[in-house]
Chain A
Amino acid sequence: MIELRGVSKIVPSGNGTLTILHPTDLTIPEGRVVTIVGASGSGKSTLLGLIAGLDAPSSGRIVIDGVEITSLSEDALAQLRGSRIGFVFQSFHLLPSLTAFENVLVPIEIAGGANPASRARALLGEVGLADRAHHYPSQLSGGEQQRVAIARALANDPPIVLADEPTGNLDSATGRQVIELLLEIHRARRTTLVVVTHDPEIAAIAETTIRLKDGKVVDAAVASAG
């Protein structure tokens, strides 16, 4: 379960400050599919980054599966991400010097998981890229790169998968395939899936949709604006 209590993000801007996210309370139960929608600059990615522990909130508490992450050190956060959170980026962010197979291998090796090679191969098979395992990112299409990124996100079998506009850099057909893949994985593994998007079609697939406007939650079935 993901719980946010009074979480806000304020950054210095010029001589004053800029509130990117106003104090927000949010609860996302285990195994749900949630989308976060809103216009550009509404604070969607900031919210997702805070949940992943990629950024520290200016106020409030974030609790992931009973662990309050706001008090964790940078290295402890890294370990938490390695074991409990898979992240999929809009720009894929694969390591360019590593093959697809090695990209999937890295998080398993960091976490010290068993049988990393066979696991990585299995995951690439799961996303339909078994025959592209030894290609470098530059030799793969956008859709293929995103599928590698999804396999990498699942490498340590995390209970939570966060995706930041995963179809933003893809054409609509490929984008649909990627969303299908994420949903398939959610169904097969019962992962909590949180997707940031501004595509209404994708938003429609969610059990819960959180709408953000100017850093405030304006509409959410499971959320209450603070």
Chain B
Amino acid sequence: MLFIVRMSLRELRASWRRLLFFFLCVAVGVGAIVTLRSIIQSLRYGLMSEARSLIASDVIVQTNRGWTPPVRGRVDAILATAPVLARSESIETPTMVRAEQGSTVARMVELRGVEPTFPFYGTLTLANGARYSHRVLEGRGALVGPELLVQLGVAVGDRLLIGGQPFTIRGVIEKEPGRRIGAFSFGARVLVDLADLRTTGLLGFGSRASYQLLLKVDEGGVEPLARQLRDGLRDDFVSTRSFRALEGDIGEDLQRAENYLSLVGFVIVVLGGIGVWSVTRVFVRQKIKSVAILKCLGATTSQVLAIYVAQVTSLGLAGSLVGVVLAWLAIRSIPASVVASFGASVYGLTASAVVQGVAVGLLVSLLFALVPLLEVRRVKPLLLLRGGLFPVAGPRAFRIDWLQAATTVVVAASLLVLASWQAGSFRAGGLVTGGFAAIAVVLYAVAWGFVRATGPLTRARWFPLRHAVLRLRRPGNQTRVILLSVGIGCFFVLAVRALQENLIAEAVIDVREGAADLFVIDIQADQTSGVSELLTRAGEGNAPARLVPTLRARVTAVRGRDVNLEGFSDVRGRGSLAREYTVTYRAGLAENEEIIGGQAWPETPLSAEGPQEVSIEQSIHERFRINVGDTMRFDVAGRPLEARVVSVRRVRWEDSRSGGFMFVFRPGALARAPHTFVAFVRGPADATARARLQYDLVSRYPNITAIDARDILARIRAVVDNVVLAISIVGGIALASGVLILIGAVAMTRFERVYEAAILRTLGANTRLLAAMIALEYSALGTIAGAVGAVGALGLTWAVATYLLDIVWRPAPGLLALGIVLTATLVAGVGVAASVDVLRKKPLGALRAE
């Protein structure tokens, strides 16, 4: 044992430089895993420890239908038997506000009315360090988010009009429990007294308010009460959450995020692993003589194997530890404000992330090195008596080596387990491992085909070409290894970049020419003509504004079977059928619709009493297998409504002029149900005229809300920009790994090429000729690797876009072509650059050394 340790250390002294690149690849991957896991774990810890302040209570009960007396009665009955220490009511609603004097701008805000007991947990901090007390809200006081002051050009002390009523700004909110800086919202927060909010008339029919009941409960009673509320109010469209369930949800969500992101790190480590595999193969070939000498001196095969396994393990461990240092540096370089905006106040390397990263780095190094290392078993000491050192892969290599085959199977299974462990899901782990295996098989097959296809070129008349091809085909060539490592690196980078392009193209839906960019919602029936007139006058080209009736409805049954609405998370988990939909009714199709199944209905309305008819959107038909002829039951504003599906529509969502609806009813019963209207209009292009229009709308009709699509898009763009940045960083890391593998692969074969170059020089070859041979050899390899990587990336982006992200697939041919050219150039460049000393070396020295 002592001998093995000493021998490995001695060998390492000489070999670590040659193996450096590959273990740097491992380091980069481990660094990615440790960084991502550490940050998300810090985030999870931070958010979970604040779960109570996120909902400002122990249990929160909410509905968007208002507390009707029967529901109220049921809630009170349940609360009467529970250890409730305190209760507080709150209402949240989006609405428009404007300054009472001065500016002519109206802005959408997220208005919340609270009672004196708010919040039970967490602290509301005001600007200048002032502490919140409910007294500042009394007598129509308001606290506002800092951005609103800028948007409306107002200051503390000024008055705002909310729902047409004046409120005085008494302070600026710096931090509110349950609301994170940087999180997406439709507008600035405005906090007012609940009683004042009720007087504004903003809670009339059709409003989008959410009614909340915050409960402070004795510790042991939290879960039983939440369960009781959930069970007792199952059919009342009331959702109940406890801070414990929230902890669980945050924990689960972030755990999932952590695992999936760590999978990216794992993929990078595996790329490094491929490097380790390729370097070990070459390394073993270069060490044949040493192995033979050791065996000649009495070392057993297992001793020799142990020496090399110990070397790989040491380097894998060193690479992983370097990765931890990289992660530490990466985390330190992230500004505290960025992490804080996501909810983590304290962050740094976490022990569990470090352990996982190092374990993955070590295991991947070892697993990938094991199969090539087994070759040392075949080395016979006899070769020391023979002049030439024949390579391990001679004609005997075609015999099946059962131990090697069994080890390969064990290694593949271990990688599957490792990937599943990292992803926290056997399916995701299997997909990643399977994907890797598939692309590896394809690349290997392509490499084989490529080597065969170049056969005729071995008779080419141009010397550099002939010899470049011969090098690709010589025994023990690196063709397959370079194709595999560079091909997979290229595949990964291109796939990430192509996905990024797809995502950006999907997310940055700009406001198209002529498309609606202003959505006016919550228009009451008696306001339609006034609003319509105002919009038509202000709209571009004075096109008449169209008002569309809307109602809110839930699907409660399909083909007579109940759609379960048990709990918030259940609904979310099951897809979107049970959520609340905004529906409309009309006689015909909108411009952005076409019927793809069933038939259009006649223009005549149906009788309100008889059976109703509904047209469903394509995705509802596909996702929930609802077909023409099926009967669906809806809950529309608390009343049940049955309708037969008569057609399936395709909606061109990108054309927003007419909006888009999942369910469109034939005019009939719905026309009689109470409903509001929305308007989709093309607002004035001029910013002042736009602001003026919103201001006029809000001044005249305080209850309605105008959503400026340009504003929302700017917010979405900011979020997307962050996502793009994150994806680019990951892609960059993968690219760096690919380049490292390439440099390593070229450097490893340096020794052979130095010798070959020396012989060619002796025979009269000049530097230009040698450089041309090397450049040709590597650019051919780069082109093939790039092409295979590009085709793989094309397939992956198609699959991910179509099946996972559900977005329109864009093949990005320009990017892929550029990828192939860049890969070829890069491989050729690295090949020549890494061979500079081969070209410069005096032939005699190289020949003597050999």
Contact = CB atoms under 8 A, between A and B. Distances in A.
Nearest to B387: A91
A78 B304 CA distance: 11
A214 to B, nearest CB: 19
A54 interface: yes
Contact of B385 (A78, A94, A95, A164): A164
A152 B380 contact: no
Contacts of A96: 14, 290
A164 B301 CA distance: 24
B289 interface: yes
B3 A110 contact: yes
B394 interface: no
Contacts, number: 81
B381 interface: yes
A107 B300 CA distance: 12
A54 B7 contact: no
A109 B3 contact: yes
Nearest to B2: A109
Query: What are the 8 closest A-B residue pairs judged by CB atoms, nearest first?
Result: A82-B298, A97-B14, A75-B300, A109-B3, A107-B297, A54-B382, A55-B382, A110-B298
A79 B298 contact: yes
Contacts of B6: 109
B13 interface: yes
Interface string B282-303: 0000000110111111111111
Given A54-B385, A87-B296, 19 more contacts: A55-B380, A74-B301, A78-B299, A79-B298, A79-B300, A81-B296, A81-B381, A82-B299, A89-B385, A93-B296, A97-B14, A97-B15, A106-B7, A106-B297, A109-B3, A109-B7, A110-B303, A111-B298, A156-B298
Given A82-B297, A95-B293, A54 B380 contact: yes
Contact of A152 (B297, B299, B381): B297
Given A109-B3, A110-B303, A97 B13 contact: yes
Interface in A199-222: none
Interface of A: 45-46, 48-49, 52, 54-55, 74-75, 78-83, 87, 89, 91, 93-98, 102, 106-107, 109-112, 138, 152, 156, 164
A75 B301 contact: yes
- Residue among B294, B295, B381 with the most chain A CB within 10 A? B381
Nearest to B291: A95
Contacts of A49: 382, 385
B2 A54 contact: no
Interface in B371-409: 380-382, 384-385
A87 B13 CA distance: 26
A187 B720 CA distance: 86
Contact of A107 (B2, B290, B298): B298
Contacts of B15: 97
Task: Give the one of A79, A80, A109 with max B CB within 10 A.
Answer: A109
Interface centre among A78, A79, A83, A111 (most CB of B within 10 A): A78
12 contacts: A49-B385, A54-B384, A55-B382, A74-B295, A75-B302, A81-B298, A81-B381, A89-B385, A97-B15, A109-B6, A110-B303, A156-B298
A152 B6 CA distance: 17
B580 interface: no
B334 interface: no
B849 to A, nearest CB: 7
Interface bin, chain B: 20 to 34
A63 B293 CA distance: 23
Interface string B1-40: 0110011001101110000000000000000000000000
A112 B303 CA distance: 13
A82 B296 CA distance: 8
A97 B381 CA distance: 18
A110 B10 contact: no
A200 B298 CA distance: 32
Nearest to A149: B293
A89 B384 contact: yes
Contact of A45 (B7, B14, B292, B385): B385
Contacts of B293: 93-95
Nearest to B383: A54
Contacts of B299: 78, 82, 110
Interface in B174-196: none
Contact of B10 (A48, A97, A164): A97
A156 to B, nearest CB: 8
B258 to A, nearest CB: 43
Among B6, B384, B849, max chain A CB count under 10 A is at B384
B10 A102 contact: yes
Interface in B291-336: 292-303
Nearest to A196: B385
A9 to B, nearest CB: 11
A43 B193 CA distance: 106
A208 to B, nearest CB: 22
Contact of A97 (B290, B295, B300): B290
Contacts of B296: 52, 54, 81, 87, 93
Contacts of B380: 54-55
A51 to B, nearest CB: 11
B13 A106 contact: no
A78 B15 CA distance: 25
Interface string B112-128: 00000000000000000
Contacts of B303: 110
Given A89-B384, A97-B15, A110 B297 contact: yes
A102 B294 CA distance: 12
A94 B293 CA distance: 8
A107 B296 CA distance: 9
Contacts of B7: 106, 109
Contacts of B385: 45-46, 48-49, 54-55, 89, 164
Nearest to A80: B298
Nearest to B292: A93
A7 B667 CA distance: 105
Contacts of B384: 54, 89, 91, 93
B295 A78 contact: yes
A25 to B, nearest CB: 22
B10 A83 contact: no
A27 B3 CA distance: 36
Contacts of B294: 95, 106, 110
A81 B297 contact: yes
A60 to B, nearest CB: 17
B395 to A, nearest CB: 10
B300 A78 contact: yes
A106 B2 CA distance: 11
Contacts of A46: 385
B308 to A, nearest CB: 13
Contacts of B382: 49, 54-55
B300 A93 contact: no
Contacts of B302: 75
Contacts of A102: 10
Contacts of A93: 289, 292-293, 296, 384
A79 B295 CA distance: 9
Given A81-B296, A111-B298, A97 B11 contact: yes
B590 to A, nearest CB: 77
A130 to B, nearest CB: 20
Contacts of B289: 93
A98 B10 contact: yes
B464 to A, nearest CB: 32
Contacts of A91: 384
A105 B701 CA distance: 96
A59 to B, nearest CB: 18
A55 B295 CA distance: 12
B381 A54 contact: yes
B844 to A, nearest CB: 15
A164 B387 CA distance: 12
A51 B297 CA distance: 15
A125 B594 CA distance: 97
Interface in B250-294: 289-290, 292-294
A153 to B, nearest CB: 9
